[in-house]
Amino acid sequence: MNLPVILDVALGLIFIYLILSLLASEIQELIATVLQWRAQHLRKSIEIFLGGGVQNSEDAKVIDLANRIYSNPLISSLNQEAKGFLATLPRKCTWAIASLSRSFKKEKPGIQAKDTIFGNQKHSAPSYIPASAFAMTLMDSLQLPMLLQTLTDSRLEKFKSQRLGEIEKILLKLQEQVNYDDNFAIFFNYAYQSFAEMQADFEQIIYNFKQNKANLHTSLNRMAESIDRYIANFEAEMPNNELAVKALKHLQFLRRNMFDDIQKTISTGGLQPNISEVVQIINKGSSVYEEIKTALQDDSEAFQNLEKVMGNLPPSIVEKINLFAKTARTRIQKTESGVNLLRLEIESSFNNSMERASGVYKRNAKGVAILIGCLIATSANADTFHIVSRLSKDSALRETIVNNAGEIIRQNPDFANLEALKNQTDGILTNISLPIGWNNVNLEQQIAWTPQKQQSFPIFKALSVFMGWIISGIAIAMGAPFWFDLLNKIVNVRNSGKIPSSSRNSSDDRAVG
């Protein structure tokens, strides 16, 4: 057997593998869609991520937290579903089949939250969740943004009271020092009136901050502007007195010390909780947790909700958040928004976890692909040994397959147009009698036996056929893209030695001339 024949046999064998691989891909994709393998695997991977390992992934608290994440609008909106009876009918059928398949799985006792695999009576879920969406949803499920806002509100309220108290203390001290001199009476009336106006400004600033109408930096700048107005009014109306000048200097020093460097004020005053304080929020018994509890004492509903959420937190997620914080602290050299640092760290960890989960899914899918490939090879009687034998002996069949393979490669230079490729291979299956199938011709050539023959079944020859099925099944599991690329390369190698048609025609014309 010369090299061109060997290439043609290999090309024909690869072409048959390609056709069967396309069929296998369709079957596997259909099964994955109906049984929602990707969505199920993602849900299980998230439970493992939250539980800190497979052994804790079935914990009731982990399941409950996962259900809350999946119920969040940010995640549930990722799962787009059709509307209307006719549009949803096929989907309901797949739900029924998937639910039936899951009913055979043994559930862990004592887990009421997991009424369906996706929780809260949901029959479907997204098969992909962006890391940013997961991080934001997890923090929202832990109520971290709300608790951080509560903590900042409380600290800003204290900051306001302290600054106003210091200013009022300066006024009272001045009043004592001048012994309530009547010459200062008009000035003090004006000073306290201005103080009341500044106090009202501060209250409005705090209100706007709590209503999310201004951020922390803007709120402090407005407080500084209000103090500037007060100092200007104080200086304009104060009597020409050494004690009054001294009080003015105290006010100016207070203003510079607190508001010249807003970022420093935020940092030193703890107005914007850092990453360490963010972590302490979910650690019951920590000083920050107690501070939040104190701030929520007047809001009984919020307080009870805090106790409920923190009481249902799985220990693994508390450990994970602590680990995220420790990792984040090693990456920064300055105090930043703790919640942003934590979100970025959760995103990074989630991406790493999902990469590993994707590898597990691919390995599982490859095992299913081998099983499907073997089933297809058996049902189609695709015996690799017999296919090679037929191709090496039947030149007409070999040439027909090679020509069709070349035509497919010519019309599909890459694997992008999958639908067109499937249609072309389907047409080839109807026009070419491939060396596969359970017809008498194949059986006679494979094992020299047909059902019509009055002779015993050749068991030893059948063993060779069985091995041929196994080889074909493994080859089919390699996937259509693999065989398409290999087919493309072999077709190019086979055709590389041919003279281009234009050159051949030119040579013929010169010979005739």
C-alpha pair distances (Å), 382 with each of 28, 352, 467, 474: 19, 41, 11, 12
Confidence bin at 297 (pLDDT 50/70/90): confident
Query: Taking the model in full, what pTM does it have?
Result: 0.74
CA distance linking residue 262 with residue 259, whole number of Å: 5
Task: Choose the weakest-confidence range: 84-88, 185-189, 201-205.
Answer: 84-88
Confidence bin at 112 (pLDDT 50/70/90): very low
pLDDT of residue 186: 86
Confidence bin at 509 (pLDDT 50/70/90): very low
Instruction: Report whether pLDDT(303) > 80.
Output: no
Task: Choose the weakest-confidence range: 93-107, 166-180, 234-248, 382-396.
Answer: 93-107
Confidence bin at 287 (pLDDT 50/70/90): confident
Instruction: Report whether pLDDT(332) > 70.
Output: no
Mean pLDDT across the chain: 82
Per-residue buried b or exposed e for 194-226, using 16+ beta carbons within 10 Å of the residue's own CB:
bbeebbebbeebbeebbeeebebeebbebbbeb
Instruction: Report whether pLDDT(108) > 70.
Output: no
Confidence bin at 109 (pLDDT 50/70/90): very low
pLDDT of residue 255: 92
Q: What percent of the chain clears pLDDT 90, i.e. is strictly above it?
A: 33
Q: Name the residue with tokens 């204290």.
A: 158
What is the mean predicted confidence (pLDDT) over 225-250? 92
Confidence bin at 91 (pLDDT 50/70/90): low
CA distance linking residue 428 with residue 402, whole number of Å: 12
pLDDT of residue 119: 63
pLDDT of residue 200: 96
More confident residue, 306 or 384: 384
pLDDT in tens, 159-192: 999 999 999 999 999 888 887 667 788 888 999 9
CA distance linking residue 254 with residue 209, whole number of Å: 23
What is the mean predicted confidence (pLDDT) over 507-513? 39
pLDDT of residue 147: 83
pLDDT of residue 380: 92
pLDDT in tens, 12-68: 999 999 999 999 999 999 888 888 888 889 999 999 999 888 888 888 888 888 988
Specify whether the CB–CB gap between 273 and 151 falls below 8 A: yes
Instruction: Report whether pLDDT(373) > 90.
Output: yes
Q: Which domains does the chain have, with CATH numbers?
A: 3-25+360-495 (no CATH), 46-129 (no CATH), 144-268 (1.20.140)
Confidence bin at 111 (pLDDT 50/70/90): very low
pLDDT of residue 251: 94
Q: What angle do CA 121, 125, 126 make, to 5 degrees?
A: 165
Instruction: Report whether pLDDT(270) > 90.
Output: no
Confidence bin at 98 (pLDDT 50/70/90): low
Instruction: Report whether pLDDT(153) > 80.
Output: yes
Which residues 6+ apart lie within 8 Å of 254 measured at CB? 163, 166, 167, 170, 227
CA distance linking residue 262 with residue 218, whole number of Å: 9
More confident residue, 384 or 310: 384
pLDDT of residue 103: 53
pLDDT of residue 283: 80
Instruction: Report whether pLDDT(113) > 60.
Output: no
